[in-house]
Structure 1
Amino acid sequence: MNTLRTISTLLVDDEPRFRRGLRTLLDFYNTNSNWQFEITGEAASVEQAVKLATEQHPTLILLDLELPPSDGINALLCLKHVSYKGKVLVLSAHREDEWIFRAMQAGASGYLFKDCLATQFCEAIQTIMNDEIYLAPAVATAFFRLFHFYSGRSLQACQAVHLTEREQEVLHWLVQGASNEEIASKLYITVATVKAHLTAIFEKLNVNSRTQAIVKALKLGLVCA
């Protein structure tokens, strides 16, 4: 006898219409598969998503990458910093290599194009609930294209400069143009802590300013632009 497996699920998308479509799709699977999706909440922003994830601890988050006030990549990083233990399946219209690479690098369990939802969703859920990463062939190609270009080079560079994981994260947001206050908010740390990390980064890179740090980080391949 097949046993129903209940999956508490948080829907994160800034489009109410798409969230309604997801509800319809999940209702279909609830009556036609061994999965029982229990929708615990809906979020339309990064802040709402992180708040509900920490309050409800859903097993699965279905995450769009177009989220105010920043994007779903920030949501993934924030979820990592609040120690969210569930799975995050990205549902996105973005097919660009850079978006796919950054989403997976930030901790997504899988990446699914929105127009492939009807045909690939079941396989994606099955894969990530078995603690594996889901990437359809087209997505995997895009991911590994940038992985080979950036990741190896970035890893070697970070090891050579001796940046800690948190310093790499601060440097990432610095390169994105974020202020100290914005970095603190994104990483859930204080502004004083951000300043301390920046001081350490400047010393390790042997630079004296934010601009010099950004230029050197990009030149060394420490981060993706």
Structure 2
Amino acid sequence: MNNQPISILLVDDEPRFRQGLRTLLGFLGTNDSLKFDVVGEAASVEQALKLTVEQKPAMILLDMELPPGDGITALLSLREMSYKGKVLVLSGHREDEWVFRAMQAGACGYVFKDRVATQLCEAITTVMKEEVYLSPEVATCFFRLFNFYAGRSLSAGKAIHLTEREQEVLHWLVEGSSNEEIARHLYITVATVKAHLTAIFEKLSVTSRTQAIVKALKLGLVSA
């Protein structure tokens, strides 16, 4: 890592937490080997995407609770934009599903918020070396769910009747694809993808992409 400051965008809907991150980064920046330049703050997915385009940060510190939608929406949107920087998730969500989905959607690392003070420096250093950062406790969450889903049979999902095309759309949804990417994979229009997603959401009794993915995996409708 060179001595150039790492440009960072802070994305969290809690101003107090963002201020705490600024203070922590300032403290960590007293180390000669690490310098940071906070180029912006965002409290929503829309603000985060706008500032990413404007500032082109080398790293985004991303919360999972963002109005409207969530951090998964932000991660998928950043991938669709071909964002070249690194995204490090800082989240209060300790549930296995959140860790699994964030990493699958493109995060380079995941840090529990109550561990930020002790793990942020190592996490940033690791991610900027083109490596993935997962502390042992986070890695346990990720691989516990990975192994669970990998071993699921389809029997639990027999009560859910999806058409062949809906199953294909659901497959790519679980893979973390955006609507545009699903359309390209299946050679259909984005409008058709949205129509299939509406039908899938209704059959699964869910209201968001993340809920649909988690429920589909739990029911064994698809494998991770």
Query: TM-score, normalised on structure 2?
Result: 0.74
**Equivalent in the alignment of 2:172:** 168
Write the letter of the residue equivalent to 1:169.
Answer: L
| Pairing 1:196–2:192 present | yes
Unaligned runs of 5+ in 1: 155-160, 174-182, 203-208
Asked if the contact 2:149/2:220 (under 8 Å) is kept, the reply is no
**Equivalent in the alignment of 1:89:** 88
Distance 1:138 1:211 in 2: 32
Distance 1:212 1:41 in 2: 38
Summarize deviations over 1:22-60 as a string: whole Å, max 9, x none.
Answer: 111111112124111111110000111111112221100
| Structure 1 counterpart SS, 2:131 | coil
| Structure 2 counterpart SS, 1:91 | strand
Write the letter of the residue equivalent to 2:124.
Answer: I
**Equivalent in the alignment of 2:66:** 67
Cα gap change, 1:149 to 1:166, in 2 (>3 Å) = closer
Distance 2:223 2:15 in 1: 34
Distance 2:113 2:169 in 1: 32
Asked if the contact 1:5/1:34 (under 8 Å) is kept, the reply is no
Summarize deviations over 1:143-166 as a string: whole Å, max 9, x none.
Answer: 001111225769xxxxxx797789
Write the letter of the residue equivalent to 1:168.
Answer: W
**Equivalent in the alignment of 1:104:** 103
Write the letter of the residue equivalent to 1:11.
Answer: L
| Structure 2 counterpart SS, 1:11 | strand
Distance 2:200 2:119 in 1: 43
Unaligned runs of 5+ in 2: 154-163, 206-215
Distance 1:71 1:25 in 2: 24
| Structure 2 counterpart SS, 1:20 | helix
| Structure 2 counterpart SS, 1:89 | strand
Cα gap change, 1:168 to 1:100, in 2 (>3 Å) = same
Summarize deviations over 1:5-31 as a string: whole Å, max 9, x none.
Answer: 321100000011111111111111121
**Equivalent in the alignment of 2:78:** 79
Q: After TM superposition, give the deviation of residue 115 of structure 1 in Å.
A: 1.1
Distance 1:142 1:87 in 2: 21
Summarize deviations over 1:39-94 as a string: whole Å, max 9, x none.
Answer: 11100001111111122211000001111011111111111111111000100111
Cα gap change, 1:4 to 1:152, in 2 (>3 Å) = farther
Distance 1:63 1:152 in 2: 31
Distance 1:84 1:120 in 2: 24
| Structure 1 counterpart SS, 2:67 | coil
Q: How does 1:17-96 map to 2 (within 5 A)?
A: 17-96=16-95
Distance 1:78 1:211 in 2: 20
Cα gap change, 1:77 to 1:32, in 2 (>3 Å) = same
**Equivalent in the alignment of 1:177:** none
| Structure 2 counterpart SS, 1:32 | coil
Distance 2:62 2:71 in 1: 7
Distance 2:30 2:175 in 1: 47
| Structure 2 counterpart SS, 1:35 | coil
Distance 1:124 1:19 in 2: 17
Cα gap change, 1:113 to 1:220, in 2 (>3 Å) = closer
Q: How does 1:202-221 map to 2 (within 5 A)?
A: 210=200, 214=204, 220-221=220-221
What is the aligned-residue identity percentage? Answer: 57
Asked if the contact 2:105/2:176 (under 8 Å) is kept, the reply is no
Write the letter of the residue equivalent to 2:193.
Answer: H
Q: How does 1:142-161 map to 2 (within 5 A)?
A: 142-150=141-149
